[in-house]
Amino acid sequence: MNFDFSDDQKMLKEQAHKFLSEKCTPKTVRAVYESGKTHDAALWKQIGELGWAGAAIPEEFGGLGLGYLELCVIVEELGRALAPVPFSSTVCQFAEALIVSGSSEQKSRLLPKVAAAEIIGTLARTEGPGAILPKNIRTTFKGGKLSGKKTAVGDGMDAHFAVVLARASDEPGERGLQLVLVDLSQPCVTRRAQESIDPSRARAELIFDNVTAEPLGKQGEAWSDLNRVLDRAAILMAFEQVGGADTCLQMARAYAMDRYAFGRPIASFQAIKHKLADMYVNTELARSNAYYGAWALSTGARELPLAAAAARISATQAFDYAAKESIQTHGGVGFTWEYDCHFYYKRARELSLALGAQRVWKDKLVTQLELSNAA
């Protein structure tokens, strides 16, 4: 039994932790919130120099070629520090879309730039509130031209490239869909900044008016490819969620130890102790599910879809619980702008929505259980 990270991977995690403790404090996050900027460009550049964005990208495409386990430990630390950088959209989603569906030419052209954090990439799926269903995708891709509107696109104001879910033919349902790679610097792309829950992960509306674009992967495989990308991203971002949940627990613990009420630290009241114990239990369960996801991702195991859904649900629940109960533990100051709790509360919700709601993932999970017959 060897179900843990190696000493080298733990060392990498420790290095990432040390770097971020210095370069990405809550003040860094606050500065992004209060400056009106969408992310911390200097931090993103340094992350590029460290090679983190290319940790799992093969060397032939300009990455470090370390592997997914290494990427997972880095993402956990980014989540712990609430790093205000477009890492998740670029590395966990856009790069994974290239890896899953891209031709070797497309990979050679773009992955080295992702690895160096020279470009920001994103995934554009959503066209409005409610479920994302093949029959409702109205963005079109015909004759090499993309037209339509996507909303709530992660890091949409900053992204250089997007992978867009579009309809390429009149064939019904999934069969008419196509993933499309588009350079967002073109003049026929209109962007509009949207207000969103977590301004350090700013979202935008993208309008395409007959924009030149290229197919990514095959028509008819877009829906299943997209789901594969989402599964892989879910595992990576589960680590981001676990990191965030852990910070909430530590913040709540520190506050409860310091804060006196009724003549004693509030950490000595069972109402608080049990809350923190539950945070711990949820976070450990989520961590273990994320580890299993990391194993599935790094080995390409056929259990990956089940592992991804479990990691995603577990980590979403853990971060959600920890973020809201951290505010509750802090009492009134917890929901002031001045305290940091709200950054985590917002990030937890942002991450729970980023790859689709829990409802969707729970349905996916049970579908996998039905298929696996293991259950």
Q: Enumerate binding residues for other proteins (CB under 8 A).
A: 1-6, 69, 249, 253, 256-257, 264-265, 267-268, 270, 272-274, 276-278, 280-281, 284-289, 291-292, 294-295, 298-299, 309-310, 313-314, 317, 359, 361-363, 365-366, 369-370, 374-375
Q: How far is the CB of 115 from other proteins (least distance, A)?
A: 23
Nearer to other proteins by C-beta: 198 or 231? 231
The radius of gyration of the chain from alpha carbons, rounded to an integer in Å, stands at 21
Minimum gap (Å) between residue 267 Cβ and other proteins:
5
Burial 287-306 (b: 16+ CB within 10 A, else e): bebbbbbbbbbbeeeebbbb
Element at 166 (helix H, strand E)? strand 161-167
Distance CA 126, CA 109 (A): 26
Rounded to whole angstroms, the Cα distance separating 46 from 52 reads 9
Query: Which H or E element spans position 140?
Result: strand 140-142
Comparing CB distances to other proteins, the nearer of 4 and 105 is 4
CB of 292 to other proteins, least distance (A): 5
CB 90 within 8 A of CB 122: yes
Q: Rounded to the nearest whole angstrom, what is the least distance from the CB of residue 134 to other proteins in the complex?
A: 20
Residue with smaller CB distance to other proteins, 152 or 355: 355
- Residue (6 or 336) nearer to other proteins, CB: 6
Closer to other proteins by Cβ: residue 153 or 310: 310
Name the residue nearer to other proteins (CB basis): 192 or 273. 273
Contact status, residue 252 vs residue 325, Cβ threshold 8 Å: yes
Q: Is 267 helix (H, G, I), strand (E, B) or coil?
A: helix
**End-to-end Cα distance, the chain:** 23
CB of 74 to other proteins, least distance (A): 16
Cβ distance to other proteins smaller for residue 53 or 318:
318
How far is 89 from 119, CA to CA, in rounded Å?
Answer: 11
The nearer residue to other proteins, 27 or 264, going by C-beta atoms, is 264
Number of residues that this document lists for the chain: 375
Which CB contacts under 8 angstroms, 24+ apart, belong to 181-189?
Answer: 181/98, 181/102, 181/106, 181/213, 181/214, 181/215, 181/216, 182/146, 182/208, 182/211, 182/212, 182/213, 182/214, 183/212, 183/213, 184/159, 184/160, 185/160, 186/211, 186/212
- Give me the least distance between CB of 322 and other proteins, in Å please: 13
Shortest reach from residue 280's CB to other proteins, in Å: 6
Closer Cβ to other proteins, 71 or 276, answer by number:
276
**Minimum CB distance to other proteins, residue 71 (Å):** 13
Which DSSP string corresponds to 179-208? Answer: EEEEETTSTTEEEEEE--S-GGG-EEEEEE
Give the CA distances from residue 233 to residues 237, 312, 375, in Å, rounded to whole numbers and listed in that order. 6, 9, 25
Q: Tell me how far, at minimum, the Cβ of 98 lies from other proteins, in Å.
A: 25
What is residue 107's three-state secondary structure? helix
